[in-house]
Amino acid sequence: GENVEQHPSTLSVQEGDSAVIKCTYSDSASNYFPWYKQELGKGPQLIIDIRSNVGEKKDQRIAVTLNKTAKHFSLHITETQPEDSAVYFCAARAPYGSGNTGKLIFGQGTTLQVKP
Amino acid sequence: DAGVTQSPTHLIKTRGQQVTLRCSPKSGHDTVSWYQQALGQGPQFIFQYYEEEERQRGNFPDRFSGHQFPNYSSELNVNALLLGDSALYLCASSLRGNSYNSPLHFGNGTRLTVT
C-alpha cells in the first residue's frame, strides 16, 4: 500500500550547520510533496512544497529536492538556528481521481535539535 | 485572516463514551480533512469533506463519522471510544474550487485522552 519512509528519526546539529532529512515514497503516481514543521503543542505548519514537474525548490534557508526515478525527496535547511528545532514531517499526495481526492500520506517525522 | 481553528483544545473521556470535535476552516477554504496523530507518529488521514459530503475515507472504522455544514465548518464524531483512540486530532482545510493543487493548512488540534 501507500507508504512514506522518513529518515533520520532524530537529528542533532550545531547552530549554523546544515540539516538534511530524507523521505522515500512507494506510490509512483504521487505528484505533490509538502514538508511540515510541528512545534510542541501546535499543529503542522507548511514550510515548503514541491510538485513532480520540478526537481528543486528553494525558499531562503530551506530547499527541497525531488528524484522521481528513485522516488525520494529531501529537505535541506542551511545555517540552522535554535528556532528551527521542531519535528519535521514529509508527506506525499497522489493525483486526484480513482477515488483519491487529496489525502496526504505522512512520514514518521524527524525531531531536529539545533544546539546553540 | 483567521487560520484553521479547532475546539476544544483538550478533552478527557471515558472508554465507551462518544465525543464531538469541531473545526472552522481557514477563511476562503471550502474543504476540510481530519487526521489522527498518535504520540510520536505522523498524522493519519481519517476522511475529507467537500460540499457537505464525505469524499474520501482512510482506514478508520465506522465509529468515526463526520459532518460538514453549509458554512464549511466541520465536526468529527467518535462513538464507543477505545483507549487506542487517545491521540491529537487535527483538522486541515484547503480550497478545492477549480484547482486540486491547494496546500493543506492545519489547526493546532484537539488532544483527546480516553481513560
Query: What part of B 18-37 touches A (C-beta under 8 Å)?
Result: 31, 33, 35
Instruction: Please state, in angstroms and rounded to a whole number, the distance separating the CA atoms of residues A55 and B89.
Output: 33
CB-CB under 8 Å, B108 with A42: yes
Residue A95: its pLDDT value, please? 79
Query: Who among A41, A46, A99 is closest to B56 (CB)?
Result: A99
Residue A7: its pLDDT value, please? 97
Q: Is A99 left (phi over 0), alpha (psi -120 to 50) or beta?
A: left
CB-CB under 8 Å, B101 with A32: yes
Would you place residue A54 in the very low, low, confident or very high pLDDT band (cuts 50, 70, 90)? Answer: confident
Mean pLDDT of B4-20: 98
Percent of chain B exceeding pLDDT 70 equals: 95
Residue B101: its pLDDT value, please? 66
Mean pLDDT of A92-97: 84
B94 touches chain A (CB under 8 A): yes
Q: What average pLDDT is seen over chain A?
A: 94
Lowest pLDDT segment from A17-26, A50-59, A64-73, A105-114: A50-59
Which comes out higher in pLDDT, residue B63 or A31? Answer: B63
Instruction: Please state, in angstroms and rounded to a whole number, the distance separating the CA atoms of residues A23 and A81.
Output: 22
Mutate to test the interface with B, among A38, A64, A93, A110 (most CBs of B within 10 A): A38
Secondary structure E strands in B1-115:
5-7, 10-13, 19-24, 31-37, 44-50, 53-57, 64-68, 74-78, 87-94, 105-106, 110-114
Closest of A52, A51, A71, A74 to residue A63, by C-alpha = A74
Mean pLDDT of B77-81: 98
**Cell digits of residue B81:** 471510544
Whether pLDDT at B41 is above 80? yes
DSSP helix/strand/coil, B58? coil
Q: Calculate the dihedral angle through the C-alpha atoms of B3, A53, A71, B92, rounding to the nearest 10 degrees.
A: 10
CB-CB under 8 Å, A99 with B42: no
Whether pLDDT at B58 is above 90? yes
Percent of chain A exceeding pLDDT 90 equals: 83
Mutate to test the interface with B, among A5, A23, A104, A111 (most CBs of B within 10 A): A104
Closest of A60, A103, A72 to residue B42, by C-alpha = A103
Residues in chain B, total: 115
Would you place residue B1 in the very low, low, confident or very high pLDDT band (cuts 50, 70, 90)? Answer: low
Which comes out higher in pLDDT, residue A101 or B105? Answer: B105
Instruction: Please state, in angstroms and rounded to a whole number, the distance separating the CA atoms of residues B47 and A70.
Output: 29
Residue B100: its pLDDT value, please? 57
Mean pLDDT of A93-101: 78
Based on its alpha-carbon atoms, the radius of gyration of chain A, rounded to whole angstroms, reads 14
Instruction: Please state, in angstroms and rounded to a whole number, the distance separating the CA atoms of residues A55 and A39.
Output: 28
Mean pLDDT of B23-48: 95
Q: Which residues of A touch B34 (CB under 8 A)?
A: none
Mean pLDDT of B85-99: 86
